[in-house]
Structure formats: C-alpha cells, structure tokens
Amino acid sequence: GIQVEQSPPDLILQEGANSTLRCNFSDSVNNLQWFHQNPWGQLINLFYIPSGTKQNGRLSATTVATERYSLLYISSSQTTDSGVYFCAVPTGGGNKLTFGTGTQLKVEL
C-alpha cells in the first residue's frame, strides 16, 4: 500500500518563528489533506490541496503531485499552533484516508 512519511517527526519553535513541514507519499494520489490535531484530540481541517498552492492566514500549503510531496508552511508561529500535524491521502479507491506519520510541533514563549 501507499506509504506516507512526514518530516520532521518533532519540532520545537520559539513563538514568532517560521517552519516548513513536509509530507512525502509513495504513489500517485488524487488529493491530499492537511490536519492539525490539537492537544484534546480534535482533528482540524487545514487544507484540501490536490495540487498547487493555497494560503489561509499564517498558513500555506503547496502540493507537487508529480514529485509526490506536499509542504505546509507556518509563519509567525503562536503557542496555539502546538499539536500534531498530519497529512492524509485517499487510498483504496474509496474514502479511506491513509495518514502520514505526523509532525509533533511545540511552540514555546
């Protein structure tokens, strides 16, 4: 099956710093979603981005489907950005989402 790897696995930032999270996938995909899982476990949709670049406030994402990777940029990080960031791709021809290995982000004051 498809492999979805994320890097780095862990990241500690000072408030105000910028960061780039990466998601690599081993096979062609039709779309890709980025999620933020807060400390209470809620998965929050960030982007639905099959290709190209999207921006939402301090966050932006780019997917290069032909090269099988996606990037999530976080600018001017805040403590509320802490949590785990997952990318996920549909597999099996249906609604099954395969999640990446996740990036644990901690933003400190």
Partner 1 sequence: DAGVTQSPTHLIKTRGQQVTLRCSPKSGHDTVCWYQQALGQGPQFIFQYYEEEERQRGNFPDRFSGHQFPNYSSELNVNALLLGDSALYLCASRSSGGTDTQYFGPGTRLTVL
List contacts with partner 1 (CB under 8 A): 30-31, 33, 35, 40-45, 48, 86, 88, 90, 92, 94-102
Say if residues 37 and 84 touch (Cβ distance below 8 Å).
yes
The sign of the CA dihedral 79, 45, 23, 71 is: negative
- Least distance to partner 1 from the beta carbon of 20, Å? 20
Q: Which is nearer to partner 1, 84 or 107 (CB)?
A: 84
- Least distance to partner 1 from the beta carbon of 93, Å? 8
In whole angstroms, give the CA distance from residue 31 to residue 45.
14
Q: How far is CA 37 from CA 42, 66, 67, 99, in A?
A: 5, 27, 26, 12
Q: Which is nearer to partner 1, 73 or 99 (CB)?
A: 99
- Least distance to partner 1 from the beta carbon of 25, Å? 13
